[in-house]
Amino acid sequence: MENTGDLELQNLINELTQGRELAMQLQISLNTSSSSDKTRDFLIQRIDNSYEKMLSILNNGDDLDREFKGPNASRKRKAMPASTKKVQLCPGIGLEEQLDDGYSWKKYGQKDILGATYPRGYYRCSHGRDQGCLATKKVQRSDNDPTVIEITYVGGHTCSHVSCSNPPPTLPQNCIFPDTIMDNDVIGTFMSTPMSESNYFRVSPTLMSNYGGNHIVHSSESQLITQFAPSPTISFGTNTPNVGLDHFSFGPSEFDSNFSFGGSGFFP
DNA sequence: AGGATTTGACCCGG
DNA sequence: CCGGGTCAAATCCT
């Protein structure tokens, strides 16, 4: 599995590089009086995210070789180190963007979980087959707070960083969250959402598209919306024309033609 | 037509 | 035996 190791190392290096870039941005931001707290807060979140990815890669490295599927591979995964993130859904931001973690995922299953109100979605890295990447994630809407999505990452990515097929070695300096982006309306709306817990994971569409290159995620993340179907109560924003959903709506501005709600078969 | 998603069945650990 | 995780055929979407 030499390739796997190399990819993993590359992944780690990319993550470190990005973390460093983010730290530098934060330093600049701290030295710039015009920089807002929002900017700094966002940068901190991103750095934290980067660290989590690095830890995940390091933790899983030993298991990866062993986990390679043979003919006798179990359908049920052995316990692997997993990290869980909570994503607070925010009005005015596309769901897809909010759940975008920079990787390309393919949904391979969904299941009702005992005691949970909402079904759990199972995703694996889209490049799992090509590159032997074993990363998977479970996505489930929180019972307690329907506006929170819990994402459990299992196994580190061994495919090339972020875009897997199109890895950006480093991010250009001016690509990372300039204040002009941070302070725009999107973030304003976004930050105005009550969120006290610091471990919530906040992302922005504009920024995420900068994260790791162009249009990384053609993933099925939009299908997560299927998990929201059972809830009759969620409604974000106001005067929002429903985009194919009866009771779940975000601000319309964030949805472009690439993102359609109302997956097939879920709304009879 | 080919890729993505859905969904019921299957597998296995606890 | 139960329930979570995965498979794979059917279906949908582009």
A266 touches A249 (CB < 8 A): no
**Listed range (A13-27, A97-111, A120-134, A194-208) with the worst mean pLDDT:** A194-208
Q: Which residues contact A218 (CB under 8 A, 6 or more apart)?
A: A104
Please state whether strand B lies within 7 Å of residue A268 at its CB atom: no
Nucleotides in chain B with any atom closer than 7 Å to protein CB = 4-14
pTM for the model stands at 0.52
Please state the rounded mean pLDDT for residues A27-43. 76
CA of A219 to C1' of B4 (A): 9
Strand B reaches within 7 A of the A79 CB: yes
The predicted pLDDT at position A130 comes to 67
Distance CA A235, CA A230 (A): 13
Q: By C-alpha distance, which of A139, A200, A122, A128 is closest to A164?
A: A128
Closest protein residue to C8 using CA and C1' atoms? Answer: A108
Q: Which has the higher per-residue pLDDT, A72 or A29?
A: A29
Residues A201-215, mean pLDDT to the nearest whole number = 36
C chain positions with any atom within 7 Å of a protein CB:
2-8, 11-14
pLDDT band at residue A122, thresholds of 50, 70 and 90?
very high
| A95 CA to B4 C1' distance (Å) | 18
pLDDT for residue A229 is more than 70: no
Give pLDDT tens digits for A141-194: 888 787 888 888 887 766 654 544 333 333 333 333 333 333 333 333 333 333
